[in-house]
Amino acid sequence: MGHYVPHTDAEIAQMLSSLGLSSLDELFETVPEALRLAGGLDLAPGLSEPDTLAAMERLADRNRRAGRDLVCFAGGGAYDHEVPATVRRVAFRSEFVTAYTPYQPEVAQGVLQALFEYQTLLCRLTGMEVANASLYDGASACVEAVNLAVAATGRQTVFLSNGVNPQWREVLHTYAAGTGHQYVACDLAGGLTRWPDAGEPAALLVQYPNYLGCLEDLAAARQLADRTGALLLVAFDPVAAGLLHSPGHFGADVVVGEGQPFGTPLSFGGPYLGMFTCRREHVRRLPGRLVGETVDADGRRAYVTTLRTREQDIRREKASSNVCTNQTLIAVAFAVQLAWLGTSGLRDLALRCARGTRYARDALLTIDGVEPLADAPIFREFAVTSPVPGDVLVERMADDGFLAGIPLGSEYGDRGLLVSVTERRTRDEIDAFVAAFEKVIR
C-alpha cells in the first residue's frame, strides 16, 4: 500500500501533531462532509511490484509482437524502423526522462540544448527556418498548421488533399467543430491530388509522400497556392529527406509531419512526435515551445525557451495555441537517432526502404489478381488491390506470421491494402510475404 510514500507512521503522527491535527482525515476538513468518499475507491488493493509486473506481462503476452510474432509490412504513419541500443540508452537517461519543461534554464541546459539541436535538424530535413520543440503527433501538427494558416490569411477555408492520412483528416474535422474551419476535400487521381483550380483558400494541405505512398506534385501545389494567395502546408515523412527534395525546396510555408520513424518504436501508436516547422516570417504564430540561443550573465552560450508571449500561460485566450506539455522526450530521441544516422546514414536508410519497397511491390504485382491501386511514383509505401478485401487479407496472413499491411477505406476504392517496407525487411522475409500473399488470395 502506497509503496511510493516514504513517510513512516511515526513521521505522519509527528507531522500531524505539529499541525495540531489528530488524524489524516482532518487534513480534508475543507472538503464538505457530503462530498467525502465513503468506503474508499472502487479499485483492487495495491499489488506488490513483482505482482504488478506480472500483471503487465500477462497483458503484454496477449499481443502479437512485431518482430518476434509478426513480420511487419504495415506503415501508414507508424513504421517498423530499427531503434539502436545507442539511442535507447542515451535518449532515455533519467535526467531527460524526469525533468519538467525547462522553466529554469540555468538547470535545464541539457534538455534545452537537445531541443535546439532537434529544431536545427528538423529544419535541415524540411528545408524550413524555424521549428518548435514538438507537438503531440502528426494529426495535431496538421491542426496547428491549419490554425497558423487561417490566422495568417484571415481565411477560413482549406483545400485538404485526400492523400493526407485519413486519421489525421478525421482529427482536423473534429477540431474544426471548435474553430469553424472549412475543408474542401480534394480527390486523388492516379494517386495524386486533383486540386480545385480556383478559390480563396487559406491553405493547401498535402502529404508528401502521400498516404498511398505516392509522390505528390508539390511544384504544382505551390503554383496554385501562389495563384490563390494561400499558404502551402506539407505533411512530410522525415525518412524521405534522405532521397527526396525537402518541401522547403518546393516552397512550402509550413512543413509538419509524424516524427515516429526516428527513434520511436511502434508503441501501439504513441507517444509519437508532431513535427512542426515553418518559414521565419510566421515565427510569432508558431504554436508551442521554441528554444533559442542566448547568453548567461557571464556571456557564456546558453539556451532558453523564447518568444514566450505567444504561449497560453502568458497570452491566455489570445495564445497561438493551447499546447503546454508536448512530446519533448520523443523529440530528443528523434535528434539522437538522426545524429546516429548522420548524413550518409540517412540517405542509406531512405535507399534501403525504397529498395525493399520496390522489390516487394514488383513481386506482389506478378501475382495475378493483384493490381496497383495507383500508378504514380512511390517511395517507401504502396497500395495494391486484390480479390480479397484488405481486412480479410490481414487477418489471414497473420496466421502465417505477417502483419500484411493496412486495409484501405472505401474512399480509395475497395479491396485496397497499404504495404510498407522498411530497412529491416530482408529479401527472404519479403519473398515469404509474397508467397503467403499469393496463397491467401487463392
Partner 1 sequence: MPAAAGGRASSAPIMGHDNEPTIFELSARGRTAASFRTTGVPEWDAEELVPSPHLRDEPAAIAEISERDLVAHFTRLTHRQYSVDLGAYPLGSCTMKYNPKLCDDAASLPGLTDVHPAAPAALTQGWMELLAELEQALCSITGMHAATLQPPAGAAGELTGLLLMRAWHAEHGGQRHKVVIPDSAHGTNPASVTLGGYETVTVPSDDRGLVDVAALRERLDDDVAGIMLTNPNTLGLFEEDIAEIAGAVHEVGGLLYYDGANLNAILGVTRPGDMGFDIVHMNLHKTFAVPHGGGGPGAGPVAVSERLAPYLPGPRPVLGDDGVYRWEQPAQSIGRVHSWHGNALALARAYSYILANGGDGLRRVAEAAVLNANWLRTRLRGIYDLPYDRPAMHEFVASTSALKKAKGLRALDVAKRLLEEGFHAPTVYFPLIVDEALMIEPTETESPQTLEALGDALERIAAGDAEDARHAPRTTPVGRVDEARAARQLIPTWDARE
Ligand X SMILES: Cc1ncc(COP(=O)(O)O)c(C=O)c1O
**Which parts of 89-148 interact with its own copies (CB under 8 A)?**
89, 93-94
Neighbours of 155 (CB within 10 A): 20
How far CA 33 is from CA of 16, 24, 27, 205, in Å, comes to 20, 15, 13, 54
Q: Is 325 in the site for ligand X (CB under 6 A)?
A: yes
Residue 425 Cβ vs its own copies, minimum distance, rounded to whole Å: 12
Return the residue of 9, 29, 49, 317 that touches its own copies, per CB under 8 A. 49
DSSP-based three-state secondary structure for 4:
coil
> Could you tell me whether strands 231-236 and 203-208 are parallel, antiparallel, or unpaired per DSSP bridges?
parallel
Q: Is 50 in the site for its own copies (CB under 8 A)?
A: yes
Q: Is 42 in the site for its own copies (CB under 8 A)?
A: no
Residue 71's contacts (CB-CB under 8 Å, 6 or more residues apart) are 401, 402, 403, 425, 429, 432, 433
Closest alpha carbon to 429 in 360, 352, 381, 361: 360
Residue 161 Cβ vs partner 1, minimum distance, rounded to whole Å: 17
CB nearer to partner 1: pick between 77 and 261: 77
Residue 334 Cβ vs partner 1, minimum distance, rounded to whole Å: 12
In degrees, rounded to 5, the angle at the alpha carbon of residue 280 between the alpha carbons of residues 275 and 284 is 85
Site for ligand X in 144-173 (CB under 6 A): none
The answer to whether the bond into 389 is cis (omega within 30° of 0) is: no
Residue 375 Cβ vs partner 1, minimum distance, rounded to whole Å: 12
Give the total of residues touching ligand X (CB under 6 A): 2
Interface segment toward its own copies; rule CB under 8 A; list 82-90, 178-186, 256-264, 298-306:
82-90
CB nearer to partner 1: pick between 229 and 313: 313
Q: Which residues in 186-205 are b (16+ Cβ under 10 Å) and which e? A: bebeebbbebeeeeebbbbb
Contact 255, 277 (CB under 8 A): yes
> Could you tell me whether strands 203-208 and 157-161 are parallel, antiparallel, or unpaired per DSSP bridges?
parallel
How far CA 419 is from CA of 97, 186, 376, in Å, comes to 34, 23, 15
Residue 424 Cβ vs partner 1, minimum distance, rounded to whole Å: 6
| Partners of residue 384 on adjacent β-strands | 372, 417
Residue 275 Cβ vs ligand X, minimum distance, rounded to whole Å: 19
Contact 404, 416 (CB under 8 A): no
Interface segment toward its own copies; rule CB under 8 A; list 46-54, 223-231, 285-293, 429-437:
46-54
Residue 68 Cβ vs its own copies, minimum distance, rounded to whole Å: 10
Q: Is 104 in the site for ligand X (CB under 6 A)?
A: no
Q: Is 424 in the site for its own copies (CB under 8 A)?
A: yes
CB nearer to ligand X: pick between 193 and 327: 327
**Alpha-carbon span 132 to 89, nearest angstrom:** 25
Contact 287, 321 (CB under 8 A): yes
CB nearer to ligand X: pick between 19 and 324: 324
DSSP letters, 309-369, are: GGSHHHHGGG-S----S--HHHHHHHHHHHHHHHHHHHHHHHHHHHHHHHHHHHHHHTSTT
- CA 276 to mean position of chain CA atoms: 10
Q: Is 324 in the site for ligand X (CB under 6 A)?
A: yes
237 binds, among partner 1, its own copies, ligand X, none (CB under 5 to 8 A by kind): none
Interface segment toward its own copies; rule CB under 8 A; list 88-96, 126-134, 135-143, 178-186:
88-96
CB nearer to ligand X: pick between 175 and 359: 175
Residue 326 Cβ vs ligand X, minimum distance, rounded to whole Å: 8
Give the total of residues touching its own copies (CB under 8 A): 10
CB nearer to ligand X: pick between 103 and 268: 103
Residue 12 Cβ vs its own copies, minimum distance, rounded to whole Å: 17
The C-alpha cell that represents 365 in the structure block? 504485382
Return the residue of 11, 26, 82, 281 that touches its own copies, per CB under 8 A. 82
CB nearer to partner 1: pick between 110 and 199: 110
Residue 424 Cβ vs its own copies, minimum distance, rounded to whole Å: 8
Q: Is 2 in the site for its own copies (CB under 8 A)?
A: no
CB nearer to its own copies: pick between 53 and 324: 53
Rule CB under 8 A: which residues touch its own copies?
49-50, 53, 82, 84-85, 89, 93-94, 424
Binding positions for ligand X, rule: CB under 6 A: 324-325
